[in-house]
Amino acid sequence: MKVLLISHTCQSRTEGQPRAQLLGKLPGMELCVLSPSRWKHYGAWRGPDIEKDASFSFAIRRPLLPWLGPAQNYLHWYPGLAALLRGFQPDVIDLWEEPWGLVSAHACRLRNRLLPGARIVSETEQNIDKKLPPPFERLRAYTLRHADHAVARNREAIGVLRAHGYEGPAEVVPNGVDAALFCPMDREACRRELGLGGFVAGYVGRLVEEKGLTDMVDALPHCPAEVNLLFVGSGGLRSELERRANALGVASRVGFLPPRPLSELPQVMNALDCLVLPSRTTARWKEQFGRVIIEAHACGTPAVASRSGAIPEVVGEGGIIVSERSPVELGAAIARLAADPALGRRLGMSGRSQVNQHYTWERVAARMADIYRRVCASPRLKAGRSMPHAAAGGRA
């Protein structure tokens, strides 16, 4: 079976390539990954970081319109995609891009024209049902009309697909974690190396408002004196967190560490008594997965997190869920874990078990391979319709 995976995420050796690497090793799988030669990632341009011993072929191509102001990256497409399809002749085209992206609609159009027997798998993380501005609503409608199977990162995202007319098979396949890298370690040794003491409730990621980090500082006065906060990451909210901690008289209990590479995050996760993710839902955003949750769970660390988006789905039995924007409830949950170490261990063990069952990259790759096999074995139920020229991004 020949699969073309179109994914800007696979630029990264740690974010997307683990799934591709495991897929490429499966018997009977011939995988080609199409990724951009340059991509804007949280405001900074980056190029592909290619695994030296990759089990798949890498097609690095220059995208057109990789970033276009308010449209962000959703108008990017590959002028060389038609040639790649003709040369590789995939059985499956996996669009690890949102369905409203021009790259997704363009791939569907080319499939219809050049390889009508190939199957399209469309992936999405979007869990907010909202009408998109032109031309994105038309692009999404076109992609969903021509997709043979849909993969969502969370249950709410399937509901969004259905609300926008998708009638085909769909299922949730989550993000994955390297469970060999993220694993239980000597917690006391990790804490000593990081200079941490007391009960440590920590956050790992971007220091931005939508993550609800001010609620963590506001929760601290409602926790016992031995509870400390640790923020690992960078972002514009740090000065506000420091100001708030000073105003509340808890600055001595709030620490900051700079961002760490993935290889160093297991030490951080093992040093925490609980991971905290108090994300706040807004009209335009809510948590679509929360990868740090499964990274913490893989280390046996419980989570205290809000009800935003997919968080309760991912936390499962591995932590405590609290209301959004509720520092008092958040503080009570942290205090409960501080007072009952056995509870924290039980929740952490449950989280580790959930990772082994559902969230390792091996499990994710196996799920995707099973989808590829099933979609190839199923007859195509509808013929593709031609896409309006304006929505197709010009000539192929």
Mean pLDDT by 10 residues, the chain (396 residues): 98 96 97 97 92 94 96 97 98 98 98 98 97 97 98 98 97 98 98 97 98 98 98 98 98 98 97 98 96 98 98 98 98 98 98 98 98 94 46 37
Q: What is the pLDDT of residue 380?
A: 79
Query: Is pTM beyond 0.75 here?
Result: yes
Amino acid residing at 213? L
Q: What is the pLDDT of residue 180?
A: 97
Q: What is the pLDDT of residue 381?
A: 63
Domains of the chain (ranges; CATH) run 2-176+360-391 (3.40.50.2000), 187-358 (3.40.50.2000)
Q: What is the pLDDT of residue 384?
A: 47
